[in-house]
Amino acid sequence: MFKISLRGFFIIAFIILPKISFSYEDKSQKLESGSLPSAWQSQDLEPLVISKQRQFLLNIYSTEPSKEQAFNYQSSLENLSNLPIDLQSRNLKSGIQTDFSLRGSTFQQVLILLNGQRINDPQTAHHNSDIPFTKEDINKIEVIPGASSSLFGPDAIGGAVNFVLTPPKEKNIVWEFGSGSNRNGYGLFSLSDRLENLGLRVSVEDAQSKGFRQDTDYKKFTTSLSANYELAQGNWENNFGYQEKNFGAYDFYTPGLGYPSREWTKTYLLSSGITLNGDGLLIKPNFLWRRHYDKFALDETQRRSTSVNQHRTDMFTPSIYLQKEMGVLGKVGFGAEWGQERITSTNLGNHSRDHRSILFDNSMGLGDKWEIGSSLRWDDFSTFSQVYTGSLNAKFKLNEESAFNFGISRSMRVPSFTELYYSDSTTIGNDNLASEKAWNYETGFEYKQEWFFSSVSFFLRQEKDMIDWVRSDPIQKWQARNFTRDNVFGIEYVLRKKINRFLSLDASYTYTDKSINNQGYLYKYGPNYAQHLVNTVFNLFLPFGQQEIGFSYKKGPGRRGWLLMNSGFNYEINHNAKIFLHAENILNVEYQDIAGIPQPGRYIEAGLRLQW
């Protein structure tokens, strides 16, 4: 199963110089003010607490969109290309439709969070990237792989991705526009202000492109409104977003068949939460509502097919989380959640399901060396049996510079409405599907010094009742089945180093090997994950702005790999204005993230950003 020697791994890890521009949270280093961007001013081996202020996590990588970045990305999703996560997209530049994979998972097996609340689309995970907020609304994006991610609920087989919104707290005006290849252009306006204890922000973005080939054009409109009211011992945060997309969906669901498909989506999302923290007690009630419309035409010319499907999904999730300092017992937390998912569809029919969840968690220190985190979660879906999941994580500090990590967790995923009820001339769902289950095991080592950080993690995931579209005979329809047990083994390596006052390096390498017992079935899509994922970014700090050049290499099982080269240039005209130029796929490599779906060639974009 494991086809690369340990010595070979370390040679690759240290010589190939893996692309990643992330921040591994660290608050212990005292850096010179203004010497490096914010991403370099955060690196620690201390317990990491994210939006729900729960236990520390074994590994968490985050990207913080910043005006200092040379890669002035149009979409917040593009920042994820700098983290150890496999993104499978029609065109990542547009943020139109992107599938997420972590450590060899399927696109259905990654949990998507907004401020720590689950927002996975119940129809299909193909819509998980329909997040109706602009890059000005998003403070950072956290990637949480492996054994720690089960803390947040269903779907975290491979891990979780958490989009953390920025509360409006001060006056800020942003106007940005860019134009690039393929008649691609966008405009963004965001206004924030503060009225005593109330912060407000409104953002509007419009983007469109003629596409890099037939049936790859798109139009996207996003608007959002945020309000943050500061209380005596906390705050009340409210966020509402709306997004609509109209895009050519060439062969995305029918790879290699050449269908000129088209898709239209609309997304509404409301998130409201109160945080109260006093006398060692944290109280966090939250409410989330998401509505999604999807219309899909298999052949927009109506020549080969007249199939048109329309779907509407709704999800409601009220929840509450409590955490208390308990002395020698550390931080003890309790959470409760109720939710409902509904779908109204011309193909899938009308269905709904409820779920209830109860969570306990704890984080504590044992002496000066050990830190322990644990969680236990109970989930009860109305259409599936009860499932218990949880995690146990530990960190052992050898000294102030190095530490060992250990973790084990159990996670689950309920089938999507598409897997349960979809039907067409070649494909049929299965309403007898059971939920997927998985055990995650992980161990790793971290080492840091001033201006240097390095870590290596070994992970193993044992999956049961995995769902895929299969058939045993070519004349049969493809059907969703719980048919296999999978074993996933891999290594993840991260390196960050300041070379001198002008140059730094961010790097990562992930190797994943997935052993599948296919029981003689034929796959509709086949194994689609990155077996080798290598990322490297060199950051150059000049008086007039930060410049970057990056390389990424990806190879899936049984496929040839591809190497991409990207670069970004910034020129700060003054404190309030900058111009930017960036180029992607500079070598003009022909490649397919998803087999049968060509990706764009060389792309160049320039623009102006004003902020005051």
Q: What is the pLDDT of residues 520-552, one digit of tens each?
A: 788 776 678 999 999 999 999 999 888 999 999
> Parallel, antiparallel, or unpaired: how do β-strands 478-498 and 427-428 relate?
parallel
**263 and 249 in contact (C-beta within 8 Å)?**
yes
* pLDDT score of 367: 87
Q: Which two tokens stand for residue 175?
A: 């106007």
CB 431 within 8 A of CB 420: yes
DSSP-assigned letters across all residues of 179-217: EEGGGEEEEEEEEEEEETTEEEEEEEEEEEE--SSTT--
User: For residue 114, what are the domain limits?
Assistant: 6-611
Which residue has 């290699």 as its token pair?
256
Question: Which residue in 244, 176, 310, 185 sits closest to 608, CA to CA?
Answer: 176
Classify the C-alpha dihedral 495-590-90-418 as positive or negative.
Answer: negative
- Which residue reads 């942003």 in tokens? 174
Using an 8 Å Cβ cutoff, are 183 and 209 in contact?
A: yes
- Separation of alpha carbons 161 and 142, rounded Å: 6
Task: Give me the amino acid identity at 382.
Answer: S
Question: Of 329, 356, 355, 357, which is closest to residue 342 (Cα–Cα)?
Answer: 355
pLDDT at residue 491, rounded to an integer: 96
Contact 420, 393 (CB under 8 A): no
Among all chains, which residue has been given the structure tokens 């949880």? 390
* The two structure tokens encoding residue 75: 């979409």
CA dist 17 and 28 (Å) reads 26
DSSP 167: P
Contact of 22 with 63, CB cutoff 8 Å = yes
Please give the full DSSP string across 237-281, using - where no structure is assigned: EEEEEEEEEEEE-TTSSSTTS----EEEEEEEEEEEEEEEEETTE
pLDDT digits (tens, 9 = 90+) for 235-262: 999 999 999 999 998 877 776 778 888 9
Amino acid at 117: Q
Give burial (CB, 10 Å; 0-12/13-18/19+) of 442.
Answer: buried
Is residue 204 within 8 A of residue 218, CB to CB? The reply is no
Taking CA 346 as the corner, what is the angle to CA 343 and CA 349, rounded to the nearest 5 degrees?
50
- DSSP state letters, 466-477: EEEEEESSTTSP
Ramachandran sector of residue 40 (left: φ over 0; alpha: ψ -120 to 50; beta: rest): alpha
557: which DSSP letter?
T
pLDDT at site 46: 32
Contact 530, 513 (CB under 8 A): no
Instruction: Look up residue 435 and give its two tokens.
Output: 């939920």
In a 10 Å sphere around its CB, with 0-12 CB exposed, 13-18 middle and 19+ buried, how is residue 327 labelled?
A: exposed
Phi first, then psi: give them for residue 49, nearest 5 degrees: -115, 130
Q: Quick one: tokens of 179?
A: 């134009």
| Number of domains forming the structure of the chain | 1
Q: Are 109 and 158 in contact (CB under 8 A)?
A: yes
pLDDT number for residue 176: 95
How far is 327 from 265, CA to CA, in rounded Å?
50
Q: Give the pLDDT score at 72.
A: 67
Distances (CA, A) of 516 to 27, 316, 437, 466, 519: 41, 36, 15, 10, 9
With respect to residue 529, please indicate whether it lies within any of the assigned structural domains. yes
Q: Model's pTM, two decimal places?
A: 0.88
Residue 35 burial (CB count, 10 A): 12
In a domain, residue 1? The reply is: no
- Kindly report the backbone phi and psi dihedral angles of residue 150, in degrees, each rounded to the nearest multiple of 5, phi listed first: -65, -15
Query: Going by DSSP bridges, is the β-strand pair 281-297/308-325 parallel, antiparallel, or unpaired?
Result: antiparallel
Bridge-partner residues for 45, per DSSP?
Answer: none
Which residue has tokens 């010179």? 32
Query: What pLDDT does 260 receive?
Result: 87
What is residue 169's predicted lDDT score, i.e. its pLDDT? 84
Q: Which residues contact 524 (CB under 8 A, 6 or more apart)?
A: 427, 468, 469, 470, 471, 478
DSSP helix/strand/coil, 66: coil
What CATH number is associated with residue 369?
A: 2.40.170.20
Q: What angle do CA 136, 141, 144 make, to 5 degrees?
A: 170
Identify the segments of the chain with pLDDT beneath 70: 1-58, 64-72, 91-94, 148-149, 255, 525-526
Rounded Cα–Cα distance for residues 562 and 579 (Å): 30
Is 138 in contact with 163 (CB distance < 8 Å)?
yes
Q: Who's near 195: CB < 8 A, 6+ residues apart?
A: none
